[in-house]
Chains A and B, each alone.
Chain A
């Protein structure tokens, strides 16, 4: 039985369907990311689960019991807000102990100390939130929610308020900590790198609807739509004519991950393409842009008919702007059913 189960959850604000028939299952101990562009309904979904909004339709179950009718404080679900919402009038210690008011005093103190140590907050007991750095504030907010030992923890854009330099280290530390605590986590982000690196499974939302759910590797490698392909990373969307496991494209013939027929749209990631010397057997392309990343180079190349492709090449494979090159696919292309309206 899954820990949290959302089925056909729907929430409307006036005429807009902020969340439109979304179903997700989350297992015990799983870290699950909700990702999508701003306005896709991910924050509303979080507020429905936490009980601060009531769904117009659908069901929320926790361990098989419906919880949609319960008040937020009775749901056993903790939430860490984007700006942490620490109580500015209470010390760090009192903030962390806030959800433990029903415990005996000694036990409460012990639990607070445990969580202060766990999140490396020792020595800050008597500080007030305004006297903490951004990273410390975030850890206090986490400690406050974890100390209450919720069945499920919700995180709303947990790393967006940290400096870019702190973000990666904080992400790694907190992932280890959450995995160690065994608490299931549902978190919202618009940062694809964060979703891919932090979560066990991800759900991509667009305009209130669920686009795809799965392990990050699977969703990244096998996007089911042009939107998912484009949202999770740079990609080449290629119109093609498919025949079984191959398709004819401007690149020549490419193999497909799954069979297709007729006019389709393919997604081929830049790292799945490589630059080759010009040859009579294959079409040639002109290098029109070269973007150096340090560890790799992105080339933008143009076909005879004007179609452009991005290629992520290793540094040793160097080509100059204006040079003619050939292209080859290193991996099968993925059929994304709908043609994309726009490429991010």
Chain B
């Protein structure tokens, strides 16, 4: 029997196909337009524009940063994943949650904390008399991003390690191999896909990030795009840098697909694998405690500690009106973004799960493409497109909201699509057989069961939109100061007191939402 239930309905109704296709098309058109505009440049001019040492430096910096962030996250994530899956430790669930929590701290907040740590008035000097230069450049950017993104890799590795059939390792041991040899020859090859997909997410995140890198004053593609565009120096150069950055991101995707090709890891046997046995820590106890303490201290302790330190030392009263205003502005942007993303997610998810075919595949792929394109090139394409087609929309709240909704649409689709596949078309067909029309069957049977997943997706889109920095910076109408923008601009100006309440709110906010999303997707009543 086929495991995937497909509706025999054939062609999708127009009511469904049209919005799904519009959502997909809206993603693609601005990107094509960017390509068209950029290619208007004369060949000789293009060589002059692109072929300069500055570009090579940007490429070199961007690639070094990717390598360093990937290396740092690996050094942190692999031991942690081994610890929570292979060793007998108290409360492994709590530790897993703690090692995931740094995701709630945006990169620019991490950068703020690292910058706020040093300096004459910073906590290091105040408590320990330690005066370090302000963190910046490659080191600073690597730390700020690595300490924030390592959970992506940790979660991947943890899943791969706990699903590995222990009989494989035991076979290798009984064939005379030492534990180290088994780890290198059996375990590591099995972790390859988890490493690759984790590294891909981290690399894409690193090339797309703007806030943390800009605060660390490191020149990479994204910061160059922003300064060229915002300074209105050379718009065409910004366009070409955007294309190069997109090509770089695409090359990561291709490289991952190429490296994962030919990996054969399906279990040969049948039946369910035993759970992986856990070893006592033994001699590793002290090093493990030291390592966990170091990771938690730097990734969670530093941001919380620095924020609390600066809040406690703020010389004047905290300006609650401005903060309230800023919070309201953030909500006014993220709220509509979430609603639009949810509304657009429904047709795309329905199309891809109920009417699998070339059309639905295409619209779904385009949605994911919109998410994979780095934020600044995406924002730039939307700006170019709106200037050409509806100039009045340029620098309007509507354009900002539309851009964010398109960019984060993929996040809203994920849970809904998974739930739809799980539900299958049979219950709806049963309702049809009981005399309901197609719309009635959908709204009475499927929608109620889908609602939780849709809301979870919407919450996810809400959270990332509220934390978002580069697109908001580039497209927001003048006078906009979201929480994220406030953290960024105040840290950039060295106003660490002023930035502290915003940074604190930001963490509180994203932590709250991660909890909400997890609890919403975790328990659904209908699940068996």
Real binding pair: yes
Structural contact, B170 and A81, CB atoms closer than 8 A? yes
Cα–Cα, bound, A83→B181 (Å): 22
Q: Can you show 16 pairs from A to B with CB atoms below 8 A apart?
A: A50-B170, A73-B174, A73-B177, A75-B174, A79-B170, A79-B171, A81-B167, A83-B268, A85-B167, A85-B269, A87-B172, A98-B177, A99-B177, A137-B269, A144-B171, A144-B175
Cα–Cα, bound, A154→B167 (Å): 13
Cα–Cα, bound, A77→B171 (Å): 11
Residues of B with C-beta under 8 A to A79: 170-171, 174
Structural contact, B175 and A89, CB atoms closer than 8 A? no
A7 within 8 A of B: no
Residues of A with C-beta under 8 A to B175: 73, 78, 98-99, 144-145, 148
Residues of A with C-beta under 8 A to B172: 87, 98
Residues of A with C-beta under 8 A to B268: 83-86, 88, 129-130, 132, 137
Among B167, B171, B173, B190, point to the contact of A89 (Cβ < 8 A).
Answer: B190
Query: How far in angstroms is the closest Cβ of chain B from A205?
Result: 20
A165 within 8 A of B: no
Q: Mark B256-273, 1 if CB is under 8 A from A, else 0.
A: 000000011111111100
A69 within 8 A of B: no
Q: Is the contact region of chain B dominated by helix, strand, or loop, or is it mixed?
A: loop
A73-B173, A77-B174 given as contacts; is B269 within 8 A of A82 (CB)? yes
| CB-nearest residue of chain B to A50 | B174
20 other A-B residue contacts (CB within 8 Å) besides A83-B271, A88-B268, A99-B176? A50-B170, A51-B173, A52-B173, A73-B176, A73-B177, A82-B271, A83-B267, A85-B165, A85-B168, A85-B170, A85-B171, A85-B269, A86-B268, A89-B263, A89-B264, A98-B177, A98-B185, A128-B264, A132-B268, A137-B268
Structural contact, B189 and A89, CB atoms closer than 8 A? yes
Structural contact, B186 and A78, CB atoms closer than 8 A? no
Q: Mark A114-145, 1 if CB is under 8 A from B, else 0.
A: 00000000000000111010000100000011
Cα–Cα, bound, A297→B268 (Å): 41
| CB-nearest residue of chain B to A77 | B174
| CB-nearest residue of chain A to B269 | A83
Residues of B with C-beta under 8 A to A317: none
The total number of A-B Cβ pairs within 8 Å is 93
Residues of B with C-beta under 8 A to A86: 268-269
B392 within 8 A of A: no
Residues of B with C-beta under 8 A to A71: 173
A342 within 8 A of B: no
Cα–Cα, bound, A102→B175 (Å): 11
Query: How far in angstroms is the closest Cβ of chain A from B278?
Result: 13
| Chain B positions 119-149 with a Cβ under 8 Å from a chain A Cβ | none
| Chain B positions 152-194 with a Cβ under 8 Å from a chain A Cβ | 165, 167-168, 170-178, 181, 185-186, 189-190
A21 within 8 A of B: no
Q: Interface size on B (CB < 8 Å)?
A: 27
Query: How far in angstroms is the closest Cβ of chain B from A125?
Result: 15
Residues of B with C-beta under 8 A to A82: 269, 271
A83-B167, A85-B168 given as contacts; is B174 within 8 A of A72 (CB)? yes
A2 within 8 A of B: no
| CB-nearest residue of chain B to A132 | B268
A85-B167, A161-B270 given as contacts; is B265 within 8 A of A78 (CB)? no
Among A81, A88, A98, point to the contact of B265 (Cβ < 8 A).
Answer: A88
Cα–Cα, bound, A89→B160 (Å): 15
A16 within 8 A of B: no
A65 within 8 A of B: no
Cα–Cα, bound, A78→B199 (Å): 37
Residues of A within 8 A of B (CB): 50-52, 71-75, 77-79, 81-89, 98-99, 101-102, 128-130, 132, 137, 144-145, 148, 150, 154, 161
Structural contact, A101 and B189, CB atoms closer than 8 A? no
Cα–Cα, bound, A75→B177 (Å): 11
10 closest Cβ pairs, A-B complex: A83-B269, A99-B175, A85-B167, A129-B268, A72-B173, A85-B171, A81-B167, A86-B268, A89-B189, A79-B174
Among B170, B174, B269, point to the contact of A161 (Cβ < 8 A).
Answer: B269
Structural contact, A87 and B186, CB atoms closer than 8 A? yes
Residues of A with C-beta under 8 A to B189: 89
Query: How far in angstroms is the closest Cβ of chain A from B263?
Result: 7
| CB-nearest residue of chain A to B189 | A89
A83-B271, A85-B269 given as contacts; is B264 within 8 A of A78 (CB)? no
Max chain B C-beta neighbours (<10 A), residue from A77, A102, A129:
A129
Residues of A with C-beta under 8 A to B270: 83, 161
| CB-nearest residue of chain A to B174 | A79
A71-B173, A73-B177, A101-B177 given as contacts; is B264 within 8 A of A84 (CB)? no
Residues of B with C-beta under 8 A to A144: 171, 175
Cα–Cα, bound, A174→B263 (Å): 32
Residues of B with C-beta under 8 A to A83: 165, 167, 267-271
| CB-nearest residue of chain A to B273 | A83
Max chain B C-beta neighbours (<10 A), residue from A85, A130, A161:
A85
Cα–Cα, bound, A71→B178 (Å): 9
Cα–Cα, bound, A50→B264 (Å): 28
Residues of A with C-beta under 8 A to B271: 82-83, 161
Cα–Cα, bound, A72→B265 (Å): 24
Query: How far in angstroms is the closest Cβ of chain A from B522?
Result: 29
Residues of A with C-beta under 8 A to B167: 81, 83, 85
| CB-nearest residue of chain B to A52 | B170
| CB-nearest residue of chain A to B165 | A85
Residues of B with C-beta under 8 A to A72: 170, 173-174
Cα–Cα, bound, A85→B267 (Å): 8
Residues of B with C-beta under 8 A to A98: 172, 175, 177, 185
Residues of B with C-beta under 8 A to A77: 174
